[in-house]
Chains A and B, each alone.
Chain A
């Protein structure tokens, strides 16, 4: 039988489509997470009240920040899940090598980030509608009316963070696949950070890295930073998993 020749791009494309087709369930879980975020947001994310003898004033702020946060968590979990043996063995049932498997995973996570960014930002409209019909109070219109430019900026920024989180989660997953020691280390790091941050300690200088992204005000620069960082995470993942034994 004559040999067939498959190029890298072709294999990555087939794997990507296969993943999109077989992982629709993960997108359903995203919708679930977002609905949960929305429910938590219904009471308002921040409120204050004041009153005197004749007047009672209470102000509540509504935002879909929590939906976005939940989407971040969802994508991180999906990225880690993608690196597990279970998912990897599915890749290697059909044609694959380690590079094609990594690249198609990166493409899948980027698509998931895109879906996540759109739906999380658009959930703000759903929240507005619910608040409009449910809250008995007076709505301040200046934030209620969404400006298209702001919505698109919001989507772009959310997408940028999601791309970053996806690549970070993937990298952590690959580390954990290399050695179980990293699971303990990464878990300890996360827990330690939560405790430190919770007690109001100043975080060590290395965590200024987050500020590198968080404080960026130019969308173009943020996009550039995120693309470079994500590329770095994926490149490290590819190098680390290049010798991995499968099945």
Chain B
């Protein structure tokens, strides 16, 4: 059963199309990374999936229900982002206690463990936390809620490198113990590619790619050689990125199988190089700019 399924999903804000005719499915118990530059439609898509916003057209189902106004979807979902709002009168300990009333699978032991590990104090208030501390507290809620669908929308903003690493470790450990569906949006792929299993790459509200991270790492290759050789050999191929290197050489990124084909024809005139997954994502979404 697919956990999330979208067909022709479109969301418009006035004249701006934030999500544009998007179709994809997310299979059960995977950690999916939603990657894309700013303004790619990541947050809008996640808010539609969470049932906070309504699609302008197209279909979306979460646990085979339209998430908008569905209590079934809502009770199995937690949405973590940096603008989460808590009552200003409740202390952090009170907030965790309230969360445990709402979420049936809430794990207080896990929550307390992380709470102490990140050295929060029970009597602190959310409004008094720094930006990074707020994000850290929010992800504790996200992990301990143990919802079948856990959505993190750029959860690490403001966290320092050490806390981010600790969070990724906690996320993976808990995921292995209790497999569930996690969607994680970020524009920093290099940091999260060890955590993610699948990637959905968005650009301009459209799907650019959806595949397992392992395949993304093998998806493309770069060729380096003299300008005219590269131009001749790659004619008719889709080139994701091209860069001049000095006067006579250039560097071109294309699909790995195409690159290997070129290499066979060219002999020693061209060099093949690997492309890092995060660089590839930038190349794939940067084309129009």
Contacts and interface: CB of A to CB of B under 8 A. Distances in A.
B174 to A, nearest CB: 11
B124 interface: no
A3 B103 CA distance: 11
Interface residues of A, number: 34
Nearest to B104: A4
Contacts of A99: 69
Interface stretch (B87-95, B156-164, B203-211, B251-259): B87-95
Interface in A1-46: 1-8, 11, 14, 17-18, 21-25
A243 B54 CA distance: 8
Nearest to B150: A1
A247 B72 CA distance: 19
A4 B145 CA distance: 12
B130 to A, nearest CB: 19
Contacts of A90: 85-87
Nearest to B90: A22
State the main secondary structure of chain A at its contact with B.
Answer: loop
Given A1-B148, A22-B87, A97-B74, A92 B101 contact: no
Listed from nearest, the 10 A-B pairs whose CB atoms lie closest are A22-B87, A6-B75, A94-B102, A1-B180, A89-B85, A4-B104, A247-B52, A1-B148, A97-B69, A245-B53
17 contacts: A1-B29, A1-B147, A1-B148, A2-B148, A3-B148, A6-B71, A6-B72, A8-B71, A14-B101, A18-B102, A22-B89, A23-B89, A89-B83, A92-B52, A94-B103, A95-B103, A97-B71
A24 B90 CA distance: 10
B89 A24 contact: yes
B53 to A, nearest CB: 5
Contacts of B29: 1
Given A1-B148, A22-B90, A23-B87, 16 more contacts: A1-B105, A1-B180, A3-B76, A4-B76, A6-B72, A6-B75, A18-B87, A21-B98, A25-B89, A86-B85, A93-B84, A93-B85, A97-B70, A242-B69, A245-B47, A245-B52
B85 to A, nearest CB: 4
Interface string B22-45: 000000010000000000000000
Contacts of B85: 86, 89-90, 93
Nearest to B180: A1
A184 B153 CA distance: 36
B102 A1 contact: no
B171 interface: no
Interface of B: 29, 47, 50-54, 63, 69-72, 74-76, 79, 83-87, 89-90, 94, 98-99, 101-105, 146-148, 178-180
A5 B72 contact: yes
Nearest to B87: A22
A245 B54 contact: yes
Contacts of B105: 1, 4
A100 interface: yes
Nearest to B63: A3
A128 interface: no
B74 to A, nearest CB: 5
Contacts of B179: 1
Contacts of A247: 47, 50, 52, 79, 83
A235 interface: no
A246 interface: yes
A98 interface: yes
A114 interface: no
From A5, A8, A25, A95, residue with most partner B Cβ within 10 Å: A95
B68 to A, nearest CB: 8
Nearest to A11: B71
B52 A246 contact: yes
A127 interface: no
Contacts of B99: 94
From A4, A5, A23, A246, residue with most partner B Cβ within 10 Å: A4
From A23, A24, A97, residue with most partner B Cβ within 10 Å: A97
Contacts of B102: 11, 14, 18, 94-95
Contacts of B89: 22-25
A246 B94 CA distance: 24
A153 B137 CA distance: 49
A18 B69 contact: no
A60 B86 CA distance: 49
Contacts of A24: 89
From B63, B102, B103, B179, residue with most partner A Cβ within 10 Å: B102
